[in-house]
Each structure stands twice: as structure tokens, then as C-alpha cells.
Structure 1
């Protein structure tokens, strides 16, 4: 397996990152054992980069990943595990966003579900217009300082939001975001190709992309003017 640096940072990851949203699991078409076996097979093939989020299936995907990691304890130190924070995970007024309150609570919940003492890469799942970036990045800095995450990053940010976040982190001496994760495939290209790749190169950010086959639309099974297959998540 080939491994690459994550932007300008020293950590090296496989060019293929295994996503663990497990849409089939959400839809009831894939069981937990199959999900765990998928993770184990990916690791056996050399993939050391695994992506998750607190939001996926109400936290159940993190729990499944945690079970897989527990079964591969001897390999954990060679893996780069990611998770994310932002999404609405309950009915309460503070159950969404990137406030200090939400971040500090959710990192602990994610660690518990994953069965880990730290997450290697902790991402802001979306930009939060209701919370100052100073508050958000200060909290993420504390997550790193407390040893609960090794690196932090951003997900679904625009080019302008990326630059602002980097400026705020530099100005206040906060942990600098190490990477950006955005959707990129044959359907969704423009934002990444016209702005984000250039910003990432310019500032030394690693670039992660998700949904390379557009959640199954690009597999060849979904045809224009036809209903999706019965076993499709669509």
C-alpha cells in the first residue's frame, strides 16, 4: 500500500480512506458483523485511514467501528481514526453546532463509543454560522491540548471559510487545521476544482474527499429516467 503525508503534516495515510457511514446498515440491509468484517478486511489490505462521525446512525456507526478496533487491538497504533462534530444528535438546544459546549461533550461521547482514549483526526463537520470561529477553534485547541485528538480539521467548508479559520487559528495560536474534507466526484466537482484544491495546496492542508461514487449514483446501476434498483439506498 502506498502512503501519503496529510498535507504538510508528518502523519502518513493510505490514499484510500474507508468511510464508515454504512448506508446499508442505516437502511437495515447490512448487519453489524458485515460492517466489522469490512473494516477488518480493509485494514488487512493496508488501509490505515478510517473515517466516521458522531452523527452516523445516531452514533451506532462509531460503536460498530469501536467493536472492530477492539478486535484489532494489535493494529490500532498503526491506524488513523477520524470522527466529526456538528450535526444534530438530539432535541436539546445544545445538541447541534460547534459551540464549546457541544464540542467538549461530543468528543467524550465519541471516545466512549469508539473505545479509544484519543481520536487521531477530529473534524468540524460543517461551518457553524451561529458560533464565532474563535470559540470553535479554541475548543478544538483544548481537545488537542487535553490529548483527546492528535489533529483537527474541517469538513464541508467553503474556500472563504477555510481561509478565515486558518487566519483565526494563526492569530490566536490555536491548533492549525490539518486537512479539509469535502464531497468530490464526477457530479460534484466545481467547488473543489475551482477553489478548494488551490487553497489546500497554498496553505499545506491535506485534502480528503468523500462520496466518490455519489452514494451509489455513479455505480452504473442508477439510470436516467429509471427507478433506482429495489436494493438501492435511493
Structure 2
């Protein structure tokens, strides 16, 4: 396993990690959660990611139990959770107010069975709350030992810069990391929008959806029902089903699936599976601190983590061939080019 610094912080996370979105606490039960986390741990994974909004808190419960069942020492693992969506109704039960951030964090820790998380994320931006209130709340959480670092997920560059500006003005800690979607089809934010932030604020990335919600596995076909046992077939969450429709039934989906078919021979040529090729492509970006993978079976974990052996096979010639299929490389200001 390779371990990378999280931005300019001192903490190091495994380049490949495991997350609980959709799967743990929802799609599979405790036994499968524990087996997947065990497989990842045995392969050197030290970072596990969850959120209060995953299966209405059940993901936190199952992943916390798994860490205890596996006998993993708390100081040997990096655990993150995310606050925003909440787990119940009510006018103050979600968002980034000081009230929900602090109460939500304490509730998450109770579900995890832990005294602290290493990383705490604002799961989405909240334009209804003053940025200063959010920055102060996260610093309160850190100062009281409930988390070590705070970050964001799916925030714009302007929102991140505002948070850093306010934190600096207050003499407080700004966001250390961001958790954006990043894969061969979703590139603009990571490869272009955030460019002015990496060096100025040392932003670390814990990216999600490297396989574009499973599209890059090659198992889905345009306008056809998802295969039995697949995430789109098994999980009936309304949000995921909306992603399924966008991924399988639109004109853009048809173009993407054609590109997936064209990437398959490239993967085969270098002795990799399609998922390994897609994950290794993300690993090539030095701005990425860790890639959060998902799995419902241990063999999926092992196959995904096999991407570590594929990275070195992505030489200039192979990368050029991949870009020839994608044709979506963002155009950026040369001053900020990676």
C-alpha cells in the first residue's frame, strides 16, 4: 500500500480507502461490512469513510462495529464522517449551523462508538448559514477533541476560498481536505476549478466515485435493465435511482458507455480490469490523497485494490490512448496547470 499526506497536513492516508456510501448499513448487512473492511485492512487500507446521512446513520453503526470486531487499534486507523443531511426531521436537524454541526458530530461519534473522528467533513455547502458560523463551529469541534481535521465535500472553489479567508481573519483552522467526485468523466472541478487552491492552501483530496457509480465496471448497457446483483438493481434509494437513470438512459449516458467499451481493450492490453484501469487513472493525479472505493463483497475490494499494481503501467503512451477515447481533458490556465 502507498500512503499519501492529506494535503499539507501531517496525517497520512492509504492511497486506496473504503467508504460506506449506499452499501454499508443499507445494501448489505453487518457480516458483509466486516468482511469487506477486513479485506481492505489486510491490504494496507488505513482510512475508512462514512457519513451521518449514509443509511440514516446505520453505516456509521456497522463500520464502527466492524473496526471493533476486527480488533483494529483506534490509533492505527483514520476514520471520517460527514455532517449535513442529518438522520431525522426537524428545522435544526440538518445543515451547517453551529447547533447541528456540534450535535450531529456527537451523535455520529455515539453511533460509531468512538470518542473522536480523525476527519470531519461538511457534507455539502450551506448557503443559509453564515460562513463564519460554520468555520467557528468546526474549530470548536476540533478544540474539544471531537475531530482532528475538518474539510468539505462538493464545495466550489469560491466557497473554499471564503472559508479560508474567514478562518485566517479569525486566527482559526480552515478546511484541510475536500471530498469531490472524480473519475474519467468528472474532471473539471479537480483538474481545473481547484487549481488555485492546491498550493496556496495545501488542499488534500479524498475523492469519491472513481468508477462513476459503477459505470466504469463495464457491466451496464445503454437503456437496458441493470444486471441482477448490481448496485443499481439492488439499491432502491431514490437518489441512487436518479443516478441510474442519468447513467443508463440519457444521450450523455450512451456516449459514456461507448467510451467505456472503448477503454476495455486498453485495460486488457496492460493486464488490468476496467475498474483497475479507472482507479489507477485517478491515482496518477498527485493531487489525490486517497480514493474512496466501495464494495459489497471482499473480492471486489481485492480487485479494486489491484489498481495499485496498474499505476506504473499507465505510461505516456497509454495515457495518450486513454485521452484519445475520453476527449474531455479540461482546458486550464497554463499558470495553474498540473
Would you call these one fold, judging by a TM-score over 0.5? yes
Give, in angstroms, the shift of residue 22 of structure 1. 4.2
1:64 alignment counterpart: 62
Q: Which of the numbers 158, 163, 175 marks the counterpart of 1:177? A: 175
Distance 2:106 2:142 in 1: 13
**CA-to-partner distance for each residue in 1:93-136, whole Å, 9 max, x for gaps?**
11110000101111111111111111000010000000001001
User: Which contiguous aligned blocks of 4+ residues in structure 1 show a shift greater than 3 angstroms?
Assistant: none
* Aligned match of 2:218: 220
1:75 Cα offset (Å)? 2.8
Q: Which residue of the partner structure matches residue 18 of structure 2?
A: 18
Structure 2: any 5+ residue segments left out of the alignment?
A: 233-338
Q: CA RMSD in A?
A: 1.5
* Cα distance in 2, alignment partners of residues 10 and 173 from structure 1: 20
Change in Cα spacing, 1:34 to 1:74, as seen in structure 2 (3 Å) is closer
- 1:197 and 1:3 map into 2 onto residues whose CA distance is 22
- Determine if contact 1:124/1:153 at 8 Å carries over to the other structure: yes
Q: Which has the higher contact order (CA 8 A, sep 6+)?
A: 2
What is the rounded CA distance, in whole Å, between the counterparts of 1:88 and 1:72 in structure 2? 28
Q: 1:198 to 1:209 in 2, by over 3 A?
A: farther
- Deviation per CA, 1:9-40: give whole Å up to 9, x if none: 1111111121112437524xx22201111112
Normalising by structure 2, we get a TM-score of: 0.66
Q: 1:209 to 1:20 in 2, by over 3 A?
A: same
1:231 to 229, 240, 244: 229
Question: 8 Å contact 1:141–1:175 — kept in the other structure?
Answer: yes
Partner SS state of residue 26, structure 1? coil
Pair 205,39 (structure 1): closer, same or farther in 2 beyond 3 Å = same
SS at match of 1:214: coil
Correspondences of 1:104-183 after superposition (within 5 Å): 104-183=102-181
CA distance in 2, matches of 1:116, 1:24: 18
Instruction: Please say if residues 180 and 200 of structure 1, whose CA atoms lie closer than 8 Å, have aligned partners that are also in contact.
Output: no
The answer as to 2:7 corresponding to 1:38 is no
Specify the SS of the correspondent of 2:95. coil
Q: SS at 2:58's partner residue?
A: helix
Larger Rg: 2
Secondary structure at 2:9 match in 1 = coil
